[in-house]
């Protein structure tokens, strides 16, 4: 067995493997056509056969090993976590990572657990469990971890989290021993305000001379202008700040707001006027680059010098923009902003870079690449990402540390929330939605994490010579048609070998191979499927009976002759997954602002019976849809909102007076062997009955200002001619927004939009019909297909310029 450690070395043995015994291990040496006992099935000429169920009977994750848009020579691969592994090896909403000196990896979970990764595998037992004292609601939770530079001496680590009683932010120091942290070793170094559900504690970093940097948001509503945001401008209050302290939590005398007392809050402040400085990096000279998550229009990259300059970055009086700080009129009447605005923009520091919400809407600051593994153009560059738009960019710095030109797109990734440099010279990131720590590395892979496959791609069909590409593939689930597996690959006469450590459960496990042309599969050195030869897509299966759960070595060899190319392998566990059910709330139901929503659910398992307690994991997801930015085809994003376990719980609904929001309740049940299954329901603000539309009518055609009226429209079927939509409405130059929860039946549904003038339709935050522009009555359609019936979020924006006015929309099951 070859397992890759975090430090890049190989581990030729693993505790989880050798305790596992499968019956086939005692079989005599197999002949070419043998298939391991119990069953062998052949399905000839099955084109595009889909056999990609996971170990536990769920659909396997299918993601290209190389992210779209990665530069040549780079690869994107899993390091740890993922829903295709047993639950004990998964993360639940990971938030950040930090390396220990020996290569072990610490990963925080939003709910309050600190997890350890060894040999690229999440350890089943948490290093530290703070779930009883952590409040994970909204942006709260266990958000960041840092390792003391002198860890070898005193084993200190630092955590920043939202405490639940009292509700406040804590930056705390703990002492680690072996693979555990003693909860009683906690020393609270900094306490911050956390009186709202958004923009609380953010990040921790160490700088030169063992200085400790931390950041927190303004602890204010994310969608409305309130006086709470102005504490970002007050040095003597926490919120909207970056702090610089000693490792004991004392202020540093060279800080810009030093009072003479190291314990004063102002003495710890390194920069203020920030909204939500979620991730930061500290340069060798002690200066900081931070990504400050913006409001409705702008995301910022801010550069904070170690001395000199203005350490006020303007929020909430200023934010953005592309050519200097922009006044935020919604806050301009608050006294603090009135005073600051009279001083002009010279009183604040403009962002080094700001991008609008057509590009992204949740900036994630990252590191400066200071190693030599990446090619020269990337060395010394600043890397940062965007959580909602799924990308990582890099921005070159010159020899003096100044940014050069503009950021450059580097990679497409899944919802990054932390980006770090690894000791191996690779770029690591946490994908909160995939539940994984992943790595972007340069060059050929040498080994891969358990659950993945080390893939060698050859430009011949004999697996000979040097592979053209060696990378880590998450799955073997390929239908290349008449194409090839990578950009410069031949479309015929190529071969691939995959090897990896895969999980088998106690009992009967089924392997299924579909290939065009030849494929052979070995488990622990024994040939178990022989699908060799030149043939159309053909499926063969084998069953293996194991006495215990554990990992085994799997080797797959495949070649393509001519014609179409298919290579798929699935492993289905003997253990059947649980069946979870949500009783409350019901799908499509409504909630009022700040309503306490009762949550109940249950699950049964074929092997274990009724499940309860920590076997039922709830995750509540907030869907947030800010005002539409012109040109933006993706308008909604998600926030982890709450997490808890058990058959019953409660969730306090968010405020509904600002941006459009709705909640998704996700219940995951898992059994004693780690098999798991998830079910979901969605609930919406109860402004209108399900199926009706919450309508906002504006006396302008830009959806701005206060709506003239708000009402529930049962349908959208309007031909106003040369009139207007209500009594005092203008007949020209008006606009409307309709929000609703609509029921879609299983299978395809046709959406039809007819408008004079512009209309756009989004479903679950994605633009599906674009009938925008000034034009006579014009009809456009779209077809959406859902595997299951259920409610979905529908947003429609319409404007009328002059002349006739028509706005019609329908959904019809096909």
How crowded is residue 31: how many other Cβ atoms within 10 Å of its Cβ? 8
Nearest 5°: phi and psi at 24? -70, -15
Q: Domain coordinates of the chain in residue numbers?
A: 15-59+446-572, 74-442, 579-685, 693-813
- The share of the chain scoring above pLDDT 90, in percent, equals 84
Q: What is the pLDDT of residues 245-263, one digit of tens each?
A: 999 999 999 999 999 999 9
- Look up residue 435 and give its two tokens: 């539940």
CATH class of residue range 15-59+446-572: mainly beta
Specify the CATH number for 74-442; select among 2.120.10.30, 3.40.50.10240, 3.30.70.1350, 1.10.240.10. Answer: 2.120.10.30
Nearest 5°: phi and psi at 330? -65, -20
Specify the CATH number for 693-813; select among 2.60.120.260, 3.40.640.10, 3.90.1150.10, 3.60.70.12. Answer: 2.60.120.260
Q: Dump strand ranges (E) for 451-572.
A: 453-458, 469-473, 476-481, 494-504, 507-516, 519-523, 526-531, 538-546, 550-560, 565-572
Q: Which residues of the chain have pLDDT under 50?
A: 1-68
Nearest 5°: phi and psi at 316? -95, 10
Output the pLDDT for position 125: 97
- Look up residue 730 and give its two tokens: 């203008």
- Look up residue 508 and give its two tokens: 């009967």
Nearest 5°: phi and psi at 290? -135, 145
CATH 2.60.40.10 holds for 579-685: yes
How crowded is residue 657: how many other Cβ atoms within 10 Å of its Cβ? 10
Output the pLDDT for position 1: 33
3-state secondary structure of 183: helix
C-alpha–C-alpha distance, residues 504 and 552, integer Å: 7
Among candidate residues 428, 383, 629, 448, the one with its CA nearest the CA of residue 1: 448
Among candidate residues 451, 447, 573, 454, the one with its CA nearest the CA of residue 502: 451
Output the pLDDT for position 637: 85
Output the pLDDT for position 633: 65
- Side by side, the strands of the sheet bearing 519-523 are 469-473, 453-458, 494-504, 550-560, 519-523, 526-531
Q: Is the peptide bond before 517 cis (omega within 30 degrees of 0)?
A: yes
C-alpha–C-alpha distance, residues 530 and 555, integer Å: 12
Q: What is the pLDDT of residues 523-577, one digit of tens each?
A: 999 999 999 999 999 999 999 999 999 999 999 999 999 999 999 999 998 888 9
Output the pLDDT for position 527: 98
- Listing DSSP states for 219-274 in one string gives -S-SSS--GGGGGGG-TTS-SSEEEEE-TTSPBPTTSTT--S-TTSGGGGEEEB--
pTM score: 0.86
C-alpha–C-alpha distance, residues 127 and 175, integer Å: 11
Q: What is the pLDDT of residues 219-255, one digit of tens each?
A: 999 888 999 999 999 999 999 999 999 999 999 999 9
Output the pLDDT for position 630: 67
- Look up residue 800 and give its two tokens: 């009328």
Q: What is the pLDDT of residues 681-734, one digit of tens each?
A: 999 999 999 999 999 999 999 998 899 999 999 999 999 999 999 989 999 999
Output the pLDDT for position 632: 66
Q: Is the peptide bond before 237 cis (omega within 30 degrees of 0)?
A: no
The yes-or-no answer to whether 15-59+446-572 and 579-685 have a common fold is no
- Listing DSSP states for 708-738 in one string gives SEEEEES-EEEEEETS-SSTT--SSSEEEEE
């Amino acid at each position: 067995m070859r397992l890759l450690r975090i430090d890049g070395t190989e581990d030729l043995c693993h505790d989880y493997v050798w305790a596992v015994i499968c019956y086939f291990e005692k079989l005599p040496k197999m002949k070419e056509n043998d298939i391991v006992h119990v069953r062998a099935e052949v399905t000839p000429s099955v084109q595009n056969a889909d056999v990609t169920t996971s170990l536990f009977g769920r659909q396997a994750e299918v993601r290209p090993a190389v992210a779209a848009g990665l530069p040549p020579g780079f690869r994107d691969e899993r390091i740890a976590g993922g829903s295709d592994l047993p639950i004990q090896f998964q993360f639940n909403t990971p938030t950040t990572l930090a390396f220990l000196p020996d290569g072990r990896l610490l990963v925080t979970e939003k709910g309050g657990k600190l997890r350890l990764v060894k040999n690229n595998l999440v350890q089943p037992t948490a290093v530290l469990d703070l779930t009883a004292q952590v409040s994970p609601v909204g942006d709260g939770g266990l958000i960041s971890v840092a390792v003391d530079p002198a860890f070898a001496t005193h084993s200190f680590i630092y955590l920043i989290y939202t405490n639940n009683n009292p509700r406040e932010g804590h930056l705390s120091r703990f002492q680690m021993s072996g693979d555990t942290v003693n909860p009683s070793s906690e020393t609270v170094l900094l306490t911050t305000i956390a009186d709202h559900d958004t923009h609380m504690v953010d990040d921790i970093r160490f700088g030169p001379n063992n200085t400790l940097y931390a950041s927190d948001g303004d602890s204010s509503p994310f969608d409305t202008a309130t006086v709470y945001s102005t504490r970002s401008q007050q040095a003597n209050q926490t919120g909207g700040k970056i702090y610089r302290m000693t490792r004991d939590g004392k202020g540093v005398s060279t800080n810009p707001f030093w009072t003479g007392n190291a314990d004063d809050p102002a003495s710890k402040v390194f920069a203020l006027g920030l909204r939500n400085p979620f991730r930061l990096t500290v340069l060798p000279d002690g200066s900081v680059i931070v990504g400050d998550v913006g409001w409705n229009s702008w995301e910022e990259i801010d550069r904070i010098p170690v001395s000199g300059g203005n350490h006020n970055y303007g929020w909430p009086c200023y934010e953005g923009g592309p050519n200097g700080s922009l006044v935020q009129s919604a806050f301009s009447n608050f006294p603090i902003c009135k005073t600051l605005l009279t001083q002009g923009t010279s009183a604040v520091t403009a962002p080094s870079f700001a991008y609008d919400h057509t590009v992204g809407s949740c900036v994630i600051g990252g590191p400066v690449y200071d190693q030599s593994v990446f090619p020269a153009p990337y060395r010394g560059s600043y890397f940062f990402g965007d959580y909602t738009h799924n990308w990582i960019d890099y921005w070159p710095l010159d020899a003096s540390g100044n940014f050069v030109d503009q950021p450059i797109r580097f990679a497409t990734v899944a919802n990054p929330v932390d980006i770090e440099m690894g000791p191996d010279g690779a770029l690591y990131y946490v994908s909160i939605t995939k539940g994984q720590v992943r790595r972007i590395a340069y060059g050929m892979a040498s080994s891969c994490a358990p659950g993945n496959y080390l893939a060698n791609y050859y430009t011949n069909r004999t697996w000979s010579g040097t592979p053209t590409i060696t990378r880590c593939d998450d799955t073997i689930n390929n239908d290349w048609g008449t194409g090839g597996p990578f950009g410069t690959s031949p479309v015929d006469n190529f071969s691939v070998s995959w090897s990896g450590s895969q999980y088998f459960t106690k009992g009967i496990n089924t392997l299924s191979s579909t290939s065009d042309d030849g494929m052979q599969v070995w488990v622990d050195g024994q040939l178990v499927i022989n699908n060799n030869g030149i043939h159309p897509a053909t499926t063969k299966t084998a069953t293996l009976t194991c006495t215990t759960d554990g990992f085994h070595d799997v080797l797959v060899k495949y070649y393509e002759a001519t014609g179409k190319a298919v290579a798929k392998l699935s492993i289905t566990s003997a253990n059947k997954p649980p069946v979870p059910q949500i009783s409350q709330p019901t799908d499509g139901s409504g909630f009022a602002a700040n309503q306490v929503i009762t949550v109940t659910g249950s699950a049964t398992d074929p092997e274990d019976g009724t499940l309860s307690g920590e076997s039922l994991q709830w995750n509540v997801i907030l869907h947030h849809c800010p005002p539409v930015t012109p040109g933006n085809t993706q308008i909604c994003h998600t926030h982890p909102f709450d997490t808890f376990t058990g058959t019953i719980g409660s969730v306090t609904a968010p405020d509904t007076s600002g941006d459009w929001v709705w909640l998704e309740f996700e219940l995951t049940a898992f059994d004693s062997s780690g098999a798991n299954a998830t079910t979901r329901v969605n609930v919406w603000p109860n402004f209108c009955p399900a199926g009706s539309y919450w309508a906002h009518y504006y006396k302008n055609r830009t959806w701005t200002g206060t709506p003239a009226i708000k009402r529930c429209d049962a349908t959208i079927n309007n031909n106003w001619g040369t009139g207007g939509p209500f009594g005092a409405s203008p007949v020209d130059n008006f606009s409307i927004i309709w929000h609703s929860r609509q029921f879609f039946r299983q299978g395809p549904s046709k959406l039809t939009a007819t408008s004079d003038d512009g209309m756009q339709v989004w479903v679950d935050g994605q633009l599906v019909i674009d009938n925008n522009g000034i034009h006579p009555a014009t009809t456009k359609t779209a077809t959406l297909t859902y595997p299951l019936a259920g409610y979905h979020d529908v947003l429609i924006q319409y404007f009328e310029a002059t002349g006739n006015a028509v706005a019609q929309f329908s959904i019809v099951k096909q």
